[in-house]
Amino acid sequence: MQPMQHQMMGYDRAITMFSPDGRLLQVEYAKKTVRQGSTAIGMVCSDGVLLVADKRVVDTLMVPESVEKIWQIDENIGAAASGILSDARVLIDRAQLKAQQNRVTYDSEIDTLTIVKDICDLKQICTQSGGLRPFGVSILIAGIDESTPKLFETDPIGIYFQYKATAIGEGEVEVEEILHSEYKPELTIEDGLKLSLKSLKKVLGENFNVERIDAAYITIAERKFKRVLKSRIEKLSSDLKEDKKPSKK
């Protein structure tokens, strides 16, 4: 049965209704929303974990710093999202609250997987309850548990997977092709940042602009969420341009 026939018969009207071939069409629409969002990249490196995102600032009158694509959940955990960012904000607020409650209750930082599972539990409830719609957002959650960097991806249906490196959003296919060929676990955060910028340059082409890029990392040594300064991104971007110039013989 074709998707249009499914729609005509109303199988896409409610999240709780399966189509005859076992599909939840509202969930599939939510996944399409994520693929239309701006690109976010996560990477586990030898010295920590890295998140890089395109903020898609296309209006020159907009203040770039006002657009958030990467958030701090706890000192040792960060997140990046693609899709409907208002949906992401609700989930991030929930994750931040859970992290704070863990510190108050147990006097210790929360582990990354607990945050991931909590977010995915709420996402899953929204695929099984009438009157709700799925969260139209995928979130990359990166953290350091003890001395181990970890990266997870959650999708709109509430499934999560652990990755060494991955991408979400409109540039997912192109970026993952580059990651498959060039990513190595031995890469440092600096190397990972260069590879991420190279990937985003390929995806965005002439639209690439340093003002659009947001990046953050957590090192194994310090275990503290830190944002990458714009000056550092500018320098690495200019270095990439220099590398592309043909050498003079």
Is 117 contained in some domain? yes
Nearest to 139 by CA among 90, 82, 196: 82
Is 14 contained in some domain? no
- Tell me, what CATH number does 164's domain have? 3.60.20.10
Is 21 contained in some domain? no
Is 134 contained in some domain? yes
DSSP calls for 66-108: G--SEEEEETTEEEEEEE-HHHHHHHHHHHHHHHHHHHHHHSS
Is 141 contained in some domain? yes
Is 18 contained in some domain? no
Is 10 contained in some domain? no
- The alpha carbon of residue 113 and the mean position of all alpha carbons in its chain are separated, in whole angstroms, by 15
By the 8 A CB rule, do 140 and 153 touch? yes
3-state SS of the chain: helix, strand, coil percent to 5?
Answer: 40, 25, 35
Give CA angle at 214 (208, 219), nearest 5°.
130
Range of the domain at 46: 28-237
Q: How many residues does the chain have?
A: 249
Give 53-93 pLDDT, tens digit per residue: 999 887 888 888 888 899 999 999 999 999 999 999 999 99
How many domains is the chain built from?
1
pTM over 0.85, yes/no: yes
Q: Give the pLDDT confidence score for residue 103 in this predicted structure.
A: 95
Between CA 184 and CA 204 the distance in angstroms is 23
- Give the CA distances from residue 84 to residues 118, 180, 221, in Å, rounded to whole numbers and listed in that order: 19, 27, 34
Two tokens, residue 174: 């192109």
Is 20 contained in some domain? no
Give 27-57 pLDDT, tens digit per residue: 999 999 999 999 999 999 999 999 999 998 8
- The alpha carbon of residue 225 and the mean position of all alpha carbons in its chain are separated, in whole angstroms, by 15
Q: Give the pLDDT confidence score for residue 220 in this predicted structure.
A: 97
DSSP calls for 166-195: EEESTTHHHHHHHHHHH--TT--HHHHHHH
Give 101-160 pLDDT, tens digit per residue: 999 999 999 999 999 999 999 999 999 988 889 999 999 999 999 899 999 999 999 999
Nearest to 186 by CA among 43, 82, 66: 43
By the 8 A CB rule, do 197 and 237 touch? yes
